């Protein structure tokens, strides 16, 4: 019993913590369990108490170099190691390496006869011996209440257990003590009165035929801790707790953009697609092309050499690959190059938490740039609305903190209001693409519009969404007096428009030709008149010249006559041809 | 303080225990507390008076031999373990109540 106490270097203000190494648990414990102190784990049968304690010891020995002692009142070493072998824990090997001691304590009522006063020193000695043998820093006792079934002196047992917990504290070991959940109290025998540093409650509830395990820290003296109920999972690699939310909305927002895989859709989203690390929901009724959008996005991501992770809840991977080939997207090469991983599972396969767990695990393993869940609404079918929403919040936070772009599809039932997503997730999403299906003119056509896109200028236009053998095509829908027209109605309308346009052009050409002709005719007329005018002017000049000559001749005749008559000679003014005013071209004169 | 007491003397009070088997008993105590010492005294006295010629009593201090506490599934002390004759019985307590010890060792006359 002379074990070297661990030296406490941390100032008394800060409580020393012992990491559990269990995913998520350390976060909500704000670092770990109180080091050097006992912690009580209570819960009903099958709530995971034993596993939690074993994992605490195994991880302590493997990851933190803290050997552990497991004192089991319920299962023998053989049973224990079989039970945890499926989680990849090799107890036998740890025992061989001197990192673990398992002490099975048998308390068999039929063998025991009480013949007077006693104490539990035997237990102390065994525990002390085990601790000293390997220099253990962690101890788990599962579950000590079995003592109450073998020994009858309850008052004495309670006093001894109280002493045990104080003794564990004085040994400086971090101890986990499990206890059965009691009616109206945390534990059946009131152990919580003695273990006051930290109490964790485990619970396994069944709702809608799906069991969800939950964990709550009832108290943790001297430390901050998450106060909510946290769902936890027993997965392939042990226990993991899923904090409801990461520590607030602190994730960084990226300015980088990532293509949607559809060129026109990129343009609709401010020309460059989604923001990296954003969450996108594509909602629509059945058969509106949600999965195809997912395939485009995955294809674009893999083409850039980045990884994509798809979770399918409706189709098998091979069915999905085949279907996407039919619209001209072959994802198989990406799968072969390990750029694309497809995980398919029926939502009813396991509870909601297990799905989230799988997503977490694969995401951590594969480290993708994008994660798509198709369709997210199916998850709501295995739980309640509130739970599905809580799960999504956690999922989105998880992906955002890792800067992973998330694409969720949301199936809307035709009879619902299309602009409410089933799981009420719209407010969590950064981008919401809405696919609709309109029936008109004896056919159904798909429409796409961007309902919201945080932080980017996006198109307000409704586009017709067509699935062709070369993938998705977005076409401007015809929007006119008759409303939005799509499909053949749009084609008819467009043809009609083309026809009337041609007719209009024809009419314009005809009128132009006619006017031109008239113009030419008028011009010819003008020219003829001009010629006539000039002819007229020349005529007039000649007439004037003639008249002048006649006047001169007459004057000369008159002079000759008067000479001949010897009349008085009155000096006649000299001939005044020069006095004539100049004539204009048109030959008109101001005076005759 | 592993102490041994072995007696195989001339039979005196025949018929004190049925069957005439040899009793193999081990008394586990923790240290030299008054309770431990009392238990040792009581155990010896009991054996002398009730098992006379055919018993084998071993006293083990679990402080000295902690590994034995584990191997023998000792939880409470003092514990008197009767390994023979079968079945195995554990008498938990300081052995001050003789009637209970007799009952525990199935030595009561029927």
Which tens digit of pLDDT belongs to each residue from A181-230? Answer: 888 778 888 777 777 789 999 988 876 666 778 888 888 888 888 777 88
Its pTM surpasses 0.80: no
* Contact between A117 and B96 using a beta-carbon 8 Å cutoff: yes
Residue A31 has pLDDT above 70, yes or no: yes
* Contact between A118 and B92 using a beta-carbon 8 Å cutoff: yes
Dihedral of alpha carbons A291, A460, A415, A379, sign: positive
Per-residue confidence (pLDDT) for residue A477, from 0 to 100: 73
Distances A531 to A63, A534, A584 between C-alpha atoms, Å: 117, 5, 16
Chain B contact set for A107 (CB, 8 A) = 75
CATH number reported for the structural domain that contains residue B54 in this entry: 3.40.30.10
Domain contains B110: no
Cα-only R_g, chain A? 49
What chain B residue is nearest to A114 in terms of C-alpha separation? Answer: B92
pLDDT, mean of residues A228-244: 75
List pLDDT tens digits, range A161-177. Answer: 889 989 999 989 999 99
CA angle, corner A582, sides to A579 and A584, nearest 5? 155
Higher pLDDT, A512 or B38: A512
Residue A583 has pLDDT above 70, yes or no: no
* Contact between A117 and B75 using a beta-carbon 8 Å cutoff: no
* Contact between A118 and B78 using a beta-carbon 8 Å cutoff: yes
A129, B67 contact by CB (below 8 A): yes
Per-residue confidence (pLDDT) for residue A8, from 0 to 100: 42
Residue B9 has pLDDT above 50, yes or no: no
- Residues of A in CB contact (< 8 Å) with B are 103, 105-107, 111-123, 125-126, 128-130, 147, 150-151
* Contact between A151 and B76 using a beta-carbon 8 Å cutoff: yes
Chain A contact set for B67 (CB, 8 A) = 129
Higher pLDDT, A552 or B47: A552
Task: Return the half-sphere exposure (C-beta side, CA atoms, 13 A cut-off) of residue A358.
Answer: 20
| HEC per residue, B18-87 | HHHCCEEEEEEECCCCHHHHHHHHHHHHHHHHHCCCCEEEEEEECCCCHHHHHHCCCCCECEEEEEECCC
Peptide bond into B85 cis (omega under 30): yes
Per-residue confidence (pLDDT) for residue A551, from 0 to 100: 93
- Highest mean pLDDT (candidates A269-278, A384-393, A532-541, B1-10): A532-541
Q: Is B79 on the interface with A (CB under 8 A)?
A: yes
* Smallest Cα distance from B62 to chain A, Å: 7
Higher pLDDT, B12 or A413: A413
Band (A439; pLDDT cuts 50, 70, 90):
confident
Residue B8 has pLDDT above 50, yes or no: no
Per-residue confidence (pLDDT) for residue A2, from 0 to 100: 44
Q: Give the DSSP H/E element, type plus range, for residue A458.
A: none
Chain B contact set for A103 (CB, 8 A) = 70
Can you spell out the DSSP letters for A109-130? Answer: GGGEEE-S--BSHHHHHHHHHH
What chain B residue is nearest to A152 in terms of C-alpha separation? Answer: B92
Per-residue confidence (pLDDT) for residue A573, from 0 to 100: 53
* Contact between B75 and A130 using a beta-carbon 8 Å cutoff: no
* Contact between B69 and A129 using a beta-carbon 8 Å cutoff: yes
Catalytic annotation on A439? no
Domain contains B24: yes
Domain contains B45: yes
In which residue are the tokens 């784990």 written? A41
Dihedral of alpha carbons A213, A309, A344, A435, sign: positive
Band (A29; pLDDT cuts 50, 70, 90):
confident
Mean pLDDT of chain A: 82
Q: How many CB atoms lie within 10 A of CB A365?
A: 10
Say how far apart CA A341 and CA A338 lie, in whole Å.
7
Residue A157 has pLDDT above 50, yes or no: yes
Chain A contact set for B63 (CB, 8 A) = 125
Domain contains B109: no
Catalytic residue among A193, A229, A314, A315: A314
List pLDDT tens digits, range A372-414. Answer: 988 887 777 666 666 777 777 778 878 888 888 999 888 877 6
What chain A residue is nearest to B74 in terms of C-alpha separation? Answer: A122
Residue A418 has pLDDT above 60, yes or no: no
Q: How many CB atoms lie within 10 A of CB A224?
A: 11
Band (A536; pLDDT cuts 50, 70, 90):
very high
* Smallest Cα distance from A106 to chain B, Å: 6
Residue B10 has pLDDT above 70, yes or no: no
Q: Is B68 on the interface with A (CB under 8 A)?
A: no
SS3 label, residue A279: strand
- Highest mean pLDDT (candidates A62-76, A414-428, A483-497): A62-76
Higher pLDDT, A205 or A551: A551
* Smallest Cα distance from A215 to chain B, Å: 32
Chain A contact set for B104 (CB, 8 A) = 113, 115
Residue A153 has pLDDT above 90, yes or no: no
Domain contains B39: yes
Catalytic residue among A74, A92, A229, A315: A74
Domain contains B15: no
Can you spell out the DSSP letters for A204-215? Answer: EEEETTEEEEEE
Residue A1 has pLDDT above 50, yes or no: no
What chain B residue is nearest to A123 in terms of C-alpha separation? Answer: B75
* Smallest Cα distance from B1 to chain A, Å: 16
Q: Is B36 on the interface with A (CB under 8 A)?
A: no
Closest Cβ opposite residue B95 in set A116, A122, A125: A116
Region at A103 (left for phi over 0; alpha for psi -120 to 50; beta for the rest): beta
Closest Cβ opposite residue A112 in set B30, B31, B92: B92
Best residue in B47, B72, B75 to probe A by mutation, most A CBs within 10 Å?
Answer: B75
pLDDT, mean of residues B28-53: 84
Chain B contact set for A159 (CB, 8 A) = none
Band (A28; pLDDT cuts 50, 70, 90):
confident
Q: Is B37 on the interface with A (CB under 8 A)?
A: no
Residue B106 has pLDDT above 90, yes or no: no
Catalytic annotation on A314? yes
Q: Which two tokens stand for residue A454?
A: 């945080």
Domain that holds residue B54: 4-10+20-104
pLDDT, mean of residues A524-548: 94
What lies within 8 Å, CB to CB, of A257 at 6+ separation is A272, A273, A274, A275, A276
Say how far apart CA A229 and CA A46 lie, in whole Å.
17
Distances A104 to A41, A62, A75, A239, B69 between C-alpha atoms, Å: 19, 22, 7, 23, 12
User: What total of structural domains would you count in chain B?
Assistant: 1
């Amino acid at each position: 019993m002379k074990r070297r106490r661990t030296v406490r270097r941390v100032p008394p203000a800060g409580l020393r913590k012992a990491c559990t190494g269990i995913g998520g648990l350390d976060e909500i414990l704000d670092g770990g369990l109180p080091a050097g102190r006992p912690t009580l784990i209570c819960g009903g049968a099958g709530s995971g108490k034993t596993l939690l304690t074993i994992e605490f010891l195994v991880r302590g020995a493997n990851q933190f170099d803290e050997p552990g002692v497991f004192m089991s009142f319920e299962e023998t070493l053989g049973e224990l190691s079989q039970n945890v072998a499926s989680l990849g824990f090799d107890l036998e090997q740890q025992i061989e390496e001197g990192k673990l001691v398992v002490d099975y304590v048998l308390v068999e009522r039929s063998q025991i006869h009480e013949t007077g006063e006693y104490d539990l020193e035997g237990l102390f000695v065994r525990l002390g011996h085990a601790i000293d043998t390997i220099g253990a820093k962690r101890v788990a006792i599962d579950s000590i209440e079995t003592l109450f079934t073998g020994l009858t002196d309850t008052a004495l047992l309670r006093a001894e257990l109280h002493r045990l917990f104080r003794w564990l504290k004085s040994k400086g070991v971090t101890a986990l003590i499990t206890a059965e959940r009691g009616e109206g109290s945390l534990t059946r025998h009131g152990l919580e009165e003695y273990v006051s540093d930290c109490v964790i409650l485990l619970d396994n509830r069944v709702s809608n035929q799906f069991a969800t395990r939950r964990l709550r820290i009832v108290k943790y003296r001297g430390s901050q801790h998450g106060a909510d109920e946290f769902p936890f999972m027993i997965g392939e690699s042990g226990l993991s707790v899923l904090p409801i939310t990461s520590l607030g909305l602190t994730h960084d927002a990226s300015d980088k953009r990532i293509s949607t895989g559809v060129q026109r859709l990129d343009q609709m989203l401010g020309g460059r697609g989604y923001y990296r690390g954003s969450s996108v929901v594509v909602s629509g009724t059945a058969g509106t092309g949600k999965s195809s959008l997912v395939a485009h996005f995955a294809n674009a991501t893999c083409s850039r050499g980045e990884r994509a992770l798809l979770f399918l809840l409706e189709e098998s991977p091979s069915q999905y690959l085949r279907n996407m080939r039919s619209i001209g997207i072959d994802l198989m090469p990406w799968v072969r190059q390990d750029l694309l991983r497809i995980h398919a599972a029926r939502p009813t396969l396991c509870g909601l938490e297990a799905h989230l767990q799988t997503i977490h695990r694969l995401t951590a393993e594969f480290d993708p740039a994008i994660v798509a869940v198709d369709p997210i609404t199916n998850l709501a079918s295995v739980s309640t609305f509130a739970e599905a929403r809580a799960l999504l919040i956690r999922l989105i936070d998880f992906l955002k903190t890792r800067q992973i772009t998330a694409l969720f599809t949301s199936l809307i039932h035709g009879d619902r209001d299309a602009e409410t997503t089933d799981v009420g997730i719209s407010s969590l999403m950064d981008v919401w693409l809405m696919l609709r299906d309109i029936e008109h003119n004896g056919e159904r056509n798909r429409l796409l519009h961007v309902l919201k896109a945080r932080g980017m200028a996006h198109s307000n236009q409704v586009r017709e969404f067509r699935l062709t053998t070369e993938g998705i095509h977005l076409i401007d829908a015809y929007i006119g007096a008759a409303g939005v027209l799509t499909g053949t109605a749009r084609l008819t309308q467009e043809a009609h428009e083309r026809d009337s346009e041609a007719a209009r052009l024809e009419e314009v050409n005809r009128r132009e030709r006619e006017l031109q002709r008239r113009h030419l005719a008028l011009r010819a007329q003008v020219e003829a008149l001009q010629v006539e005018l000039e002819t007229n002017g020349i005529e007039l000049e000649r007439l004037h010249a003639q008249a002048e000559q006649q006047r001169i001749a007459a004057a000369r005749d008159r002079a000759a006559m008067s000479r001949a008559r010897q009349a008085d000679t009155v000096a006649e003014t000299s001939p005044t041809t020069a006095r004539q005013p100049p004539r204009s071209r048109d030959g008109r004169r101001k005076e005759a | 303080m592993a102490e041994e007491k072995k007696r195989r003397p001339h039979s005196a009070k025949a018929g004190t225990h049925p069957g005439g088997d040899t009793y193999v008993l081990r008394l586990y105590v923790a240290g030299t507390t008054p309770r431990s010492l009392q238990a040792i005294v009581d155990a010896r006295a009991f054996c002398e008076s009730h098992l006379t010629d055919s018993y084998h009593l071993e006293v083990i201090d679990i402080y000295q031999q902690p590994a034995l506490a584990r191997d023998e599934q000792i939880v409470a002390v003092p514990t008197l373990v009767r390994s023979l004759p079968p079945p195995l019985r554990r008498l938990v307590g300081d052995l001050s109540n003789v009637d209970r010890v007799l009952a525990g060792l199935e030595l009561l006359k029927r």
